[in-house]
Each structure stands twice: as C-alpha cells, then as structure tokens.
Amino acid sequence: MTTKKPKDRVADEMIEMATLLSQKGLVSMKHLSQIKALGTAPPTYTAERVAAIRMKKAKMSQAVFAGFLNVTPSTIQKWESPASGKHPGGAAAKLLQIIEKKGIEAVVV
C-alpha cells in the first residue's frame, strides 16, 4: 500500500471540497476549474516537449525563452537535451503548462 504525500492529500481534499461546493451552487464552474488547476501537478516535460513549446508556442530563442521563465539559457539547453536527464519542475513546469495551453501571451506582463 502506498501513502500519498501530505501535499497531494491536501490538494485532493481541496479539489473534492470545491467540487461539492460547486454542486451546491456555492462555487462557480470557473472558480472550480481554477482550483483544480492549482491543485493539479504539472506534467513531466521531456526534452522534445520543452523544445516544441519554445519553438512552436513561444517562437523564441533559448536565451529569450529563458528570460521569460526566469532561468538561465544553459538551463533551457539542459532541459532540451535528452542526454542531460534534466527536466523542469516546480514553478517552471507550471509556467510551461500555461504556455503550452494558452500561449506565451498568458505569461507576458
């Protein structure tokens, strides 16, 4: 039997509560989807997927894309190199998820 990390348990309970409140009309569908997005971990990004997001969605060089994600260009190079074994995590993975879904315009301020 595997036990979930406390963070996963809390996120799962938050989503469950929001769903129940939505069924009672106390949370809108828009807010429910936002809560689900916050409580759901971003996917694992492969080197090919990172490169595709950068080139097709953002249409940027590695250096410019790195600036948008607040990482170094060498970090982008490592993420895009299958041999490095490095993958974006945390906030960077969440930003990639947003860019992949909504385009680079979603993170331009």
Segments of the chain with pLDDT less than 50: 1-4
Q: How many structural domains are present in the chain? A: 2
Tokens 């979603």 sit on residue: 106
**DSSP class per residue in 42-103:** PPPPPHHHHHHIIIIII---HHHHHHHHTS-HHHHHHHT-TTT-----HHHHHHHHHHHHH-
We report the CATH number of the domain holding residue 74 as 1.10.260
Task: Kindly state the tokens that stand for 88.
Answer: 């974006």
Query: Which structural domain range is residue 102 located in?
Result: 47-106
What's the pLDDT tens digit per position in 50-80? 999 999 999 999 999 999 899 999 999 999 9
pTM for the model stands at 0.72
83, 34: one domain = no
At residue 2, the pLDDT reads: 47
At residue 39, the pLDDT reads: 79
Contact 54, 46 (CB under 8 A): no
